Structure 1
C-alpha cells in the first residue's frame, strides 16, 4: 500500500503531488480535492491576473489578488497540504513568491528555470517549504550548492520531471525520446545528489512526467522516489478548474493528437494538436502588442503567438483560440471522474502491482 513521507516536519499521507497546471487548470477546486485525499494539492500561479481582472486593469496587482483569493478558497475547502507552482520564467516570479510565503501556503514548487535565489525570500518566521523542479541531476546539484552556500538552506524536496511530462519541458527536442534522459534514469541520478546531503537534511525526491498508473508509481518508489507528481490524470475530473470543453479534449484524444511545440517561453512543450496550433503554424497568430509581459524571456515582436492568452482561452473552452498542454499518456483518459475515483484506481493498481512484484521476488 502507499506509504506516507515527510517534507520537513509535514507528513504527506498520500505520496501524490498534483501538478501545477496553468492557466486556470489547477486552482483551489482541484488543489483542495487532492489535498482532501491526503496528497498535495497545487495551485498554478500563472496568469492569475487574467482570471481576476479588476477595473482599472493592472495585471501584476491582479495576479497578487488572484493568488490570495485562490489560497483563501483552498483553505475554506481543505485542511490538507496546499502548494503553489511558480514558474521561474514568470516576470512576476518575485511577487508570486512573496505572496505565497506571506499567505503561509505550505509549499512552493518552482520550475521552468533554476530558482537560485528562492531561499532569499524566506524570513525566520516563514513556514513555507521550498521545492525546486528539475530535469537533470546537474540542475539539482547546482541548486543545492547555491542554496547551501548562499543561504545555508537546502531544498525541502526535489521534483525531477522527465521528458514525458506535459507543458514546458526542460530538455532539447532531440532528447525527448532518448533513453539516456528517461525518468527511470533521472530519478536515481537526482536521488544520488539528494542523498549526498543526508548528514545535513533529508531531501525526498519526487518523480514526475508521464505517470499514469499505480504500476508507474510503484516502479518509481522502488527506484527510491518518496512520491510522484501527477498532472494530466487530474484534468478530466469533476473538480478540475478548467472548462468542460477543455476536459473533453483529454477524453476524446488519441495518442496521435499529441505533439511537441516550441513555446514562446523558449522551451519545447507537449500539447494536443488543434485548430489554434495549425493557425500558429500558418503564421496567423502573431501578436500586435503585449499588455502583460508575463514571461521574462518572451519578446512579443518575435513571438509566434501570446502564450498566456492562448492558455487562458483554452481553459475557458475557447479551443479555437488556444490549446491544451498534456503529458505523454494523457490520451489514455476515457471519461471524466472525480478526484477520489482517480486516486482509488491508482491505489488498486498499486496494490495489484505490488502483489505481482512480491510474487516475482518470491520466484
Structure 2
C-alpha cells in the first residue's frame, strides 16, 4: 500500500476561549483646586505683555485645562497707555477676562506679578470680574488674601521656587487672614522669562524642578494635615512632553504649568513672527540675560539683545513705572517696550522670553492638537516623544 493512500482521521481540537485581556487605560487625571475641577492637569502659563490674553486662555480652557491671562502691561495697546497707564491696564484686563468668558465655560485664571506697581488694582479687578484663579509670583504675595471680597470665589495660587517660600506664605496667610493657599505652582530654573533664582543656581542640579516639587510637597503636608485640606502642587519650568507630565505627577505634583509649548499655537495672542522665532530657535540661541527689573531672564537671542550687550543704550522716558524693581534712570532700555515690540513681531526692537526647551519646538499647531499630542504621550499610545 502506498503511504499516500493512508487516510488519517481528522483531528478536532477543542475550542479554547481566552478571556478578554486589555491593558489598563492610563488617562490624564483631573486637577482639583478647591472646588474647581480641570479635566486635564495642565495650566497654561501666564506670559506677560500680551502673549497670553483671552485668545490663548479661552482656547486652553475650552480643551479642559486652565487658561491664564497675564496682567503685566496688558494695556500696552490702549491709546491712553502713556497718559493714564493705570486706567488703561485696568480696562484691558477687564475686557480680556470678559472676552475669555464669552468664548469658553472653562476655567480662566489671571497671572499677576507681585513686582507690578499696579498689583493691588490688577488683583481687585480680577476678583471683581470673577476670575477663577489668581496666580502670583515674582515676589512673595504675602498680602494677597486681603483683597478677597465677601462671596468671592477666586482661588489664590502663589508661584514659588522653594519649599521655604511655600512655608513662609502658609504661615503668614494663616496668621493674618486665617487662609491657606488653594495650591502652589513651583517653578524651576528652566522656565522662560524672569527667573526666581540667582544666576549661579540656574544650572545647579540642586535647584532642578524635580527636586523642588518634592520639597514643596513636603512643606505643605503639615498644613494639609492640621487643617484637613488638600494643597495641590503644580510643577513648572521645562515641562515639555506628555512623558514629562507623567514624571511630575509621579513625583507628587498634582498638575503642571506649561508656557513655551503654548506660544507655538495658532491661538496664542502674539504675532506669528514671535511664534516663528520659537520654531527657528536652536539650543545655542537661548541665553540668560540681565533684565532691567533686576532678575535674570531666559530669552531667545536677537539683534536687540546683542546691541544691549555691546553697550548700546536705547534712550527712553518712562511713563509706565510698571515694575517696582526697575530703575529706569539706569536701565539701558525699557523692558515693557522691548517685550511689546517682540509681541508685535518687531524682534529687531525687542526679544522673546522663552523656556529652556524652546529649541525643541518644531511647528505651530492648534491648542487642540497640542493637548491631544500631550495626552497621547502621557497615555503611552505609541506616539514617539517630541525629538530633542
TM-score interval w.r.t. the shorter chain?
Answer: over 0.9
Structure 2 counterparts to residues 157-306 of structure 1, below 5 A: 157-199=183-225, 200=227, 201-306=229-334
Task: Measure, in 1, the Cα distance between the counterparts of 2:340 and 2:362.
Answer: 24
Q: 279-288 or 268-277: which moved more? A: 279-288
CA distance in 2: counterparts of 1:189 and 1:53, whole angstroms: 46
Q: 1:320 aligns with which of 327, 333, 348?
A: 348
The Cα shift of 1:55 comes to 8.1
Q: Structure 1: how far apart are the matches of 2:257 and 2:108? A: 14
Instruction: Provide TM-score, normalisation by structure 1.
Output: 0.96
* 1:125 aligns to 2:147 (yes or no): no
Larger Rg computed on CA atoms: 2
Deviation at 1:238, TM superposition (A): 0.4
Partner residue, 1:359: none
**2:381 matches 1:350:** no
- 2:39 and 2:65 in contact (8 A); partners too: yes
Q: Which runs of 4+ in 1 moved over 4 A?
A: 353-356
Q: Following TM superposition, by how much is the alpha carbon of 1:353 offset from its aligned partner in structure 2, in angstroms? A: 8.4
1:76 aligns with 102
**Secondary structure of 2:169's aligned partner:** helix
**What do the CA deviations read for 1:222-242 (whole angstroms, capped 9, x no partner)?**
001000000000001000000
Tell me what 1:86 maps to.
112
- CA RMSD after TM alignment: 1.5
Secondary structure at 2:234 match in 1: strand
Change (3 A) 1:37 1:173: same
Shift, 1:266, TM fit: 1.2
Q: 1:252 to 1:354 in 2, by over 3 A?
A: closer
Distance 1:49 1:292 in 2: 10
Q: Gapped runs of 5+ residues in structure 1? A: 357-363
Partner Cα separation in structure 1 for residue 142 and residue 294 of structure 2: 19
Instruction: Look up the SS of the partner of 1:154 in the other structure.
Output: coil
Count of aligned positions: 356
5+ residue gaps, structure 2, are 1-26
Residue by residue, what CA displacement relative to the aligned partner does 1:1-55 show, whole Å, maximum 9, x if unpaired?
A: 1000211111111100000001110000000000001100000001112122338
Give the CA deviation at 1:287. Answer: 3.5
- Pairing partner for 2:172 from 146, 152, 157: 146
SS in 2 for 1:132: strand
CA distance in 1, matches of 2:148, 2:345: 38
Q: Distance in 2 between matches of 1:321 and 1:285?
A: 12
Contact kept, 8 Å, 2:286 with 2:300, in 1: the verdict is yes
Contact 2:50 2:340 in 1 (8 A): yes
1:131-185 C-alpha deviation (Å, 9 max, x unpaired): 0000111111111110011100000000000010000100010011111101110
